Amino acid sequence: MNYTYLDCLALFGVGGAHPGGLQLTKEIVSEEKINEQTALLEIGCGTGQTAAYLAQQFGSTVSAVDSNNIMVDKARQRFSSLDLPIDIKLGDTENLPFPDANFDIVLSESVLAFTNVFSTIPELKRVLKPNGILLAVETVLEQPIPNAERDNIVDFYRFPQLLTEDEWLAAFKKAGFQRIDSTKYQASLEQIDEQHASDFSLSEYIDDELLEILETHEEITKQNIDKLGFRVFRCS
Amino acid sequence: MSVGQYRSLCQKYNGKAVEIRCHDGKIHRGIIQRVGRNRVYLQPLGRSRNLGGFGYGGYGYGGGWGFGWGVALGAIAGIALLSLFWI
């Protein structure tokens, strides 16, 4: 079996599998007005660490969707063990199982980059209310790179595209977002505490091939530290 | 710290990725899967030395059985949470 990076995240059940982890999530959402009345959607929720935090912290109506059934099972277990009324669905970000104009905020934490952004971003715009906000933490290409290096990254992560900041901004604009703020996220090597560390809900069997994928991921991120950057996009 | 203190620290870090340093100088990196009376069981995070897997003296107990491997709580000199980066 040839596992992908996303299979690896699913089987290791990595919670907070995005740049900045839960710490950055908290910083991003603290800038927004969120309360019990807010309808939130997290796409690519993974094991549900963020969705659980949002429901616990703000008491909002939280929906979550992921396209990987292992992730959905693990997220469902998390929500049920915490007794959180989160609506979790297996679904495709390019064709979301929600009606139009349904959410105040949609959150995407390193999810869009793994999808065809030219279908996904308009789909997110569709499910957002007219004054809704898209918050996205995404990978950007910081500088031109040789094709072979680019292919290496794109093939490993199975990115349908690898966009520069300007290309991201254009994609959001094209989908009808009018105001887009972009903030650079600088990965920090600060000591992490247990509240913010990635949590893992491991599948019973972890194939050795998955360990190789983790190693390749670590190599690629180290080798491309100046070429792959991260942004928090706030689109409204 | 005593064995009991390391046991409770491992329980607190259950499901997290850690680096465990032993008195004999060995370093184990993995996810804490469960904590027994005398051992903590880890899922290795890689096959290379860096990520605490094979090809390295620390690998032993139960690898490949789905239980990860066990590190004697009495052998532990220090534990730190790992800060992992994901895309």
Q: What letters, b where the CB count within 10 A reaches 16 and e where it falls short, cover A64-90?
A: bbbbbebbbbbbbebbeeeebebebee
Beta strands in A70-141 (DSSP E): 87-90, 103-109, 128-141
Give the Cα separation of A229 and A142 in Å (integer).
6
* CA-wise closest residue to A24 among A166, A235, A233, A236: A233
Give the Cα separation of A30 and A44 in Å (integer).
20
Nearest residue on chain A to B48, judged by CA atoms? A215
Residue A165 burial by Cβ neighbours in a 10 Å radius (0-12, 13-18, 19+): middle
Q: Which stretches of chain B score pLDDT less than 70?
A: 48-69
pTM of this prediction? 0.92
Phi then psi for residue A137, to 5 deg, are -105, 115
Write out the two tokens for A217: 């991921």
- Can you give the pLDDT of all 236 residues of chain A as single tens digits? 789 999 999 999 999 999 999 999 999 999 999 999 999 999 999 999 999 999 999 999 999 999 999 999 999 999 999 999 999 999 999 999 999 999 999 999 999 999 999 999 999 999 999 999 999 999 999 999 999 999 999 999 999 999 999 999 999 999 999 999 999 998 776 778 888 889 999 999 999 899 999 999 999 999 999 999 999 999 99
Write out the two tokens for A90: 């297996």
A199 touches chain B (CB under 8 A): yes
Task: Tell me what ipTM this predicted complex has.
Answer: 0.90
Q: What letters, b where the CB count within 10 A reaches 16 and e where it falls short, cover A50-62?
A: bbbbbbeebebbb
What integer pLDDT is reported at residue A192 of this predicted model? 82
What integer pLDDT is reported at residue B56 of this predicted model? 38
CA distance A192 to chain B (A): 6
Contacting residues of A for B83, CB less than 8 Å apart: 189-192, 197
Give the Cα separation of B52 and B50 in Å (integer).
6
CB nearest A192 (choices: B48, B51, B83): B83
- What is the domain partition of chain A in residue ranges? 5-235
Nearest residue on chain A to B51, judged by CA atoms? A215
Q: How many cross-chain Cβ pairs, A to B, lie less than 8 Å apart? A: 83
Q: Which residue has the tokens 């997110």?
A: A124
What integer pLDDT is reported at residue A191 of this predicted model? 73
Nearest residue on chain B to A20, judged by CA atoms? B85
For residue A235, list its beta bridge partners.
A134, A180
What integer pLDDT is reported at residue B53 of this predicted model? 52
* CA-wise closest residue to A93 among A53, A64, A71, A70: A64
For residue B66, list its beta bridge partners.
none
3-class DSSP assignment, residue A117: helix
What integer pLDDT is reported at residue B54 of this predicted model? 44
Q: Fold for B3-81, please state it.
A: SH3 type barrels. (2.30.30)
Please tell us whether the domain made up of A5-235 is placed in CATH 3.40.50.150: yes
Phi then psi for residue B86, to 5 deg, are -120, 155
Give the Cα separation of A218 and A214 in Å (integer).
6
